[in-house]
Chains A and B, each alone.
Chain A
């Protein structure tokens, strides 16, 4: 499982304040704690903390890299913000560009731009593409799969290795009226998306969005995570500091034969051994 840790995001109060105060310690502590807890990548999202999104992205990237070498997942739907972050990412490092839809009304070529930026960033750069297009987020299974197919096709046309491509079928808050059907739809879509290419593109989700505004957030998150792993989810943007969630993830991967069982498998899943 490629685990992307979600906490360095300007939507969180502590990070927002840290950005406003240019307080490196808060960001660096989160980077270290999430790395120790098992992050493969650290998501970096400026959020709404600053008007200068490009400058803030660069500051976050530089601040994190001062303290740890965990690969970064630059999180913005604006190509210029991603590009700014990439300037500060250490040359040749693994990096994720998160995220782009298939296309936007305002920018038909947005996916091309992300692919090109990833190519320029080197062979360890990958992108997360959302099953979303200029018409918005699809609600049904078929449209999700159709958009994913177009994304995969575009990547292949451009010679971009599908193993560097992460498809995010977009999980919506279960509490939103009418959205309760979505978790099931997403799993059904994933069942098809994994056959779009060989080797299959990775699949990721921004898990915490599922429980937005709900009580029992952690329980909802970890239950769906286990279900999604059984449908081929091999990456997720999650709260790695949620120990119960991490234990469920380790167990789900074990039951799917992704990890070799040992009596101490929960310890074996810990970051020190990854």
Chain B
């Protein structure tokens, strides 16, 4: 088993995949706490479906780098969903569901009608479940993931206090003079960026797990925002790393394995939380 792992790690793209996976898990867990507290847990799912639709359009249009289309479209959708939640006629969860299924349906329809690949089912399966996407990242995508993860970490670190204020009590933050709309916009953009890069790790359908489970597991153990955030990051990184290693050794799909590990960790944290009470 150890030998198999050492043999796999001799390949640089496997090492890059592990590093990218850990970075993605780190970024997603940071925003996961914010989303869970704002009751926008399913926005990851919705935006990932939008990203899938954009990816379908990009593949039909034969774009060399599909990030050119996926990233802006997902960011715009995130902004519309998060900023339009309060005063819009269609409220949060309904808006997410509407945009999510529409994008998924149109994406799959376009891929079938204007098929640019000999294996549409494989393309769709790989994108939805992230079976091997992480280990087949091109050099350009690895660099893009590095840069975007770095940007997300910097932004979250710099604006930590403001994000905290906007998360817990937006009205009070506005009354205090905090530009809540601007920080909501920043959060929306960061979420979109994380969703796009996280699709390479766990696929479109399982992104919500990457965002939600670390936050929920941490909330079983700690009560303060800082403690929950730090614990969420640690749990997410550990689960992601373990999932990738298990996947490399046993040959299981990367995304599903990571989520399975997160579910187990959630169960353990719930048990510990129940015992603590």
User: Do A and B belong to a common assembly?
Assistant: no
B contact set with A: CB distance below 8 Å: none
Interface of A with B (CB < 8 Å)?
none
